[in-house]
Structure 1
Amino acid sequence: MAREIVKHVHSEEDTAQIASALAGLLHPGDIVLLDGALAAGKTFFTRALVRALGSDETVTSPTYTIANVYETPAGPLLHVDAYRLKGAQEFYHLGLEDYLDTGICVIEWGERIKDYFDAPLSIRIGFGDTDTARTVTLSASAPRWTAVLEALA
């Protein structure tokens, strides 16, 4: 059964705080699937996560490159945009498996390829009632994420 927590944030700083709290709980091999409408804040969340992991690299949307890798003290962070992928099989053919084992993987539009992964953390970012307000829903069913979701609750 999936466990879910919902956070209502009112600013980019609030969103960055969630990413920062999550960063301290991630390990190599973790998969985070990000979903939400265009401009909801998926790349912003990833940028905050990379910074919280100790990197000052410039994080950009991988929309056209499909994947970017950022080196952090916690190991590499693979940032993928699955919007243009037709499914999990196409993701497999990108040849990124090594990063899935040795780094942290964050996939925007992750819902499109969720069937490829056994135990991801899903994060949905939705618009709130102001320009900067968001609803951040974190959910997972794998035991790996139980303590993480409890820590973030």
Structure 2
Amino acid sequence: MSKGSKITPFLWFNDNAEQAMDFYLSVFQNSKKLKVNRYGAGAPGPEGSVMIAAFELEGQQFLALNGGPMFQFTEAISFAVNCDTQDEIDELWEKLSAGGEPGRCGWLKDAFGLSWQIVPSILPELMSDPDPAVPGRVMQELMQMTKPDIVRLQGAAAGD
């Protein structure tokens, strides 16, 4: 694996780490497979199956392990993806939620059970408006959404 950031998310899968990696590589345009290590004879996993897969999404490196069924993903950990346009939100929402479970306020679980937040890049600006009523209106609008809608959020900020 190439030298990347100091902290790398390490994802524990039962037996589908390679499928998950391939899925994430297909979702994000700026992505690449870095390395795949396979179990050998006498290892805890089936010989030839993926032990650890290293990959990169949008400049962030990840490790995926086929470690067995002992652990499952929860919403306590999620990956936030900042999106500049509604088209980007729509595309990522459709791809990541396919076979998964849409949630509220831009949250979703993908088909592997991993939680993602699809976040309009404009949201921090709207939430830090000096008028204290604006963040409240924006949050109320966001709480009614599944997939974020930038126009609706901007309308809420404007008081529409």
Q: TM-score scaled to structure 2, two decimals? A: 0.24
Structure with higher RCO (Cα < 8 A, 6+ apart): 1
Which protein is bigger by CA-based radius of gyration? Answer: 2
